[in-house]
Amino acid sequence: MKPVARRSVWRDGASRPDNLAEETPVAFEYNGISQAVMLATPADLEDLAVGFSLSEGIVSRRQDIFDIAVVEAEAGITLKIEIATEDFVRLKAQRRNMAGRTGCGLCGTESLGQVVRALPPLPPTQPFPLAALYAGMRRLPAQQILQQATGATHAACRVDRDGAISHVREDVGRHNALDKTLGALARGGVAVAGSALIITSRASFEMVQKAAALGAGTLAAVSAPTAAAVRLAEKLNLTLIGFLRQETCATYSGGAIIMEEVKA
């Protein structure tokens, strides 16, 4: 299935062709057992499988994912993921079965205790240059291919200390976009620690949790964070930035940011 559908729409008094972002049910199946179903853009699904598995704590290491098969059917797509026996036994004990809407992070969670995972605080790191975040934000739109075509997708990416961006991934769901980027980084053996993540959405509680779970010390969002996201970022020693624009932002948690002037 392609991530973009071509349809005719009535616009400005005439029928015109238009691009629409696809979203389709994607089922996550671990060792033959269904675990989660969500709506997602049918692109970079192997990245999504790895990122979701790691950021949700289903596996603790990339090496514990042995195989991923993407199986298309009329009703949607199934990601058949083979994981280590130890991880699968723990997964069955959690008895978590999520059936959510687009990119819904907590839909279907069975208990309050499953919402907040016991993550250790991130270790102190060298301050991340604010100028690098501004540079990354300027560069990101040019690589949002699906957004340019449809106007309907979120994006996430890694930015290094020089402002270069990589592993740009898009999805109709903001959680999915972040998981795809995290999965792409893990599959490529690229460490998240020492770099920052940019997301073109608000920063919710679970977005902070996902970023911290893979060791990201800085998460920068185009929109605002939630209060719960800020509290969690403070607890986990994660620098949380909101309202990131080309030359302005707001720091909500963490002092590990160098407030640099951006030179034209």
pLDDT tens string 66-116: 999 999 999 999 999 999 999 999 998 875 444 444 555 544 455 545 556
Pick the closest to residue 81 from 96, 95, 91 (CA basis).
91
Residues 253 and 136 placed together within one structural domain of the fold: yes
Instruction: With residue 132 as reference, give the H or E element that holds it.
Output: helix 130-139
**Mean pLDDT rounded to a whole number for the chain:** 90
Residues 62 and 148 in one domain: no
pTM for the full model?
0.91
Total structural domains within the chain: 2
pLDDT band at 255 (very low <50, low <70, confident <90, very high): low
Last residue of a domain, one of 64, 84, 114: 114
Same domain, 92 and 167: no
Q: In the prediction, which pLDDT does 115 show?
A: 59
Say what percent of the chain tops pLDDT 90.
Answer: 81
Instruction: Give me the pLDDT at residue 264, please.
Output: 35
Does the pLDDT at position 118 exceed 70? yes
Of 114, 136, 157, the residue that ends a domain is 114
Q: What is the CATH number of the domain that holds 47?
A: 3.10.20.10
Predicted local distance difference test score (pLDDT) of residue 103: 55
26, 45 Cβ separation under 8 angstroms:
yes
Give the mean model confidence (pLDDT) for residues 52-78: 97
Active site residues per annotation: 104
Asked whether residue 227 is domain-assigned, the answer is yes
Q: Answer whether residue 263 is part of any domain.
A: no
Q: Cβ distance 32 to 91 under 8 Å?
A: no
How many C-beta atoms surround the C-beta of residue 57 within 10 A?
Answer: 17
> Domain end: 83, 114, 145, which one?
114
CA distance 130 to 125: 14
CATH number for the domain that contains residue 155: 3.40.140.10
Q: Which domain holds residue 94?
A: 24-114
Is residue 237 very low, low, confident or very high in pLDDT (cuts 50, 70, 90)? Answer: very high
Q: Are residues 54 and 83 in the same domain?
A: yes
Residues 195 and 81 in one domain: no
Mean pLDDT of 149-165: 97
Is 7 within a domain? Answer: no
In a domain, 55, yes or no: yes
